[in-house]
Structure 1
Amino acid sequence: MMRGILYGVGLGPGAADLMTLRALDCLRKVDCIILPRKDEKSLSVSWHIARETVGPIPGQERLSLNFPMSRDPKVTSHAWNIAIKEIKDRIFAGKSVAFISLGDPFIYSSFIYLYEHAQKSWPEIEIKVIPGVSSITAAPIAAGIPIADGQERIAIIPAVYNKDDLRTIIRMFDTILLMKASSVMSEIIEILESEGLLDKSVYVASATMDKEQIVTDIRDIKGKRGMYFSMVVIAKKNHSGVLFGNGEKKE
């Protein structure tokens, strides 16, 4: 029997109209769409974004699977084993399966684990990945901050990095994007304050979504827990591009 195709489909950062035409075409053609969610009581954030645009497709299966946000291997392994079996059963029955992912499937996405498992355990199947607009670009754009010109160096890291490592990275790069910053905002603010970078930092949450939040003075959210889909954009703008002197420091 012919095997089905596994698709990883990036939906973009949150606004439905930022989903690509290729992603939409794929989601309207596959036999099954996997709707990732935190647990049985949660709705799929990814599917909430795509549902109305994709619309009803006769005969298409929409399968909700749980992917717990836990650091306990016992919890995550059990859920993943169930999900992998459900996906494998459909692909090996010849069905095409799309795993939807907020942002891009290859950037901090659960799809990466499925992709690596499929490559190793199901070498006979075809895997296709459809890129999506990432919050890495969407959040700085929402805040009106160019990420980098011709000479600037960029760092993209989880905000939960070790404090000393985080401080070192902040010193080394011109633009730093701290992903998933909500749980450690107080620590981030303390580091930025000590480095004299508070005025060059902006907090962006749920970029392009209905609940988008942009805070230009991040002192205002010290001690508060932000939204899950959040980022701190640090833009020093110390180095210029070629138009200003081939990377010389701006005076």
Structure 2
Amino acid sequence: MPGTLYGVGVGPGDKRLLTLLAIETLTMADKIVVPDSGGEKTAYKIVQEYITHKEKIYCHLPMTRDEASLASAHTAAANTIISELKSGANVAFITLGDPTIYSTYMYIHRLVLAQGYNCEIINGIPSFCAVAGKLNISLCDKADPLHIIPASYANTEQMLKLSGTKVLMKSGKDLAGVVNLLAESGQIDQAQMVECCFMENEKIYTDLRAVDSSSYFSVIVIKEK
């Protein structure tokens, strides 16, 4: 009987934010898929104490927007996982935050699911919820809408015109441009940012004018006052 693929969200960066279901799934799984982009394996560091004696499968998943390279990497990872599922192994793929929010895992999930294998999503605490907690704010009240915006893409300026709370993710190297857009749109005083939330090098910015650089793990919250 084929095994099941589990996409396990491990939260924003602190092992204490792992859900009981995530720990249970990692403990039960026969093998653990660790995404490898060539840098620090942050998701692995969060869960390593729970998977010490598990077989790890490292899948190369590059940090690029080249569609051909991404498709090739996703297909290779899916094929590797399928070969394990065929043998009856239950496989857990670890991913930061929640698997359903801007996660590479979902591309692989869809490929494996399309081949007729069982896949389950184990939700994790999303980074923007952890960020709101660090900032001591709510994300939305009463009838407020909440918008999750991939800030390093071309339509960011248009989406900043939306009413309600805006969460800007994936700013990365384009942070300076995003800050300029916030200044131009008159929203910079409403914006706050947490970099590397719940990680050792966490930084909280209540004034984005003081930010000159940031890591990939940076989330901006714009809440109307």
Report the TM-score range of the alignment, normalised by the length of the smaller protein.
over 0.9
1:192 equivalent to 2:188? Answer no
C-alpha deviations, 1:33-83, integer Å up to 9, x for none? 0000103xx34221011102x1533xx311111100112234333333332
CA RMSD of aligned residues (A): 1.5
Aligned partner (choices 122, 127, 130) of residue 135 of structure 1: 127
Amino acid at match of 1:45: T
- Quote the Cα distance in structure 2 between the aligned partners of 1:127 and 1:55: 20
Aligned partner (choices 21, 42, 46) of residue 45 of structure 1: 42
The residue matched to 1:141 in structure 2 has which SS?
helix
Percent of matched pairs sharing the same residue: 32
Number of equivalent positions:
225
- Quote the Cα distance in structure 1 between the aligned partners of 2:201 and 2:187: 26
> Retained in 2: the 8 A contact 1:37–1:45?
no
- Which is greater in Rg? 1
1:1-251 alignment, distance < 5 Å: 2-39=1-38, 42-52=39-49, 54-57=50-53, 60-120=54-114, 122-123=115-116, 125-162=117-154, 165-221=155-211, 224-237=212-225
Given the two structures, how large is their TM-score scaled by the length of structure 2?
A: 0.94
Give the ranges of 4+ consecutive aligned residues of structure 1 lying more than 3 Å apart after TM superposition.
Answer: none
- Quote the Cα distance in structure 2 between the aligned partners of 1:182 and 1:71: 13
- Quote the Cα distance in structure 2 between the aligned partners of 1:43 and 1:153: 35
- Quote the Cα distance in structure 1 between the aligned partners of 2:208 and 2:65: 28
Displacement, 1:210? Answer: 1.3
> Retained in 2: the 8 A contact 1:44–1:64?
no
> Retained in 2: the 8 A contact 1:11–1:133?
yes
| Structure 2 unaligned regions, length at least 5 | none
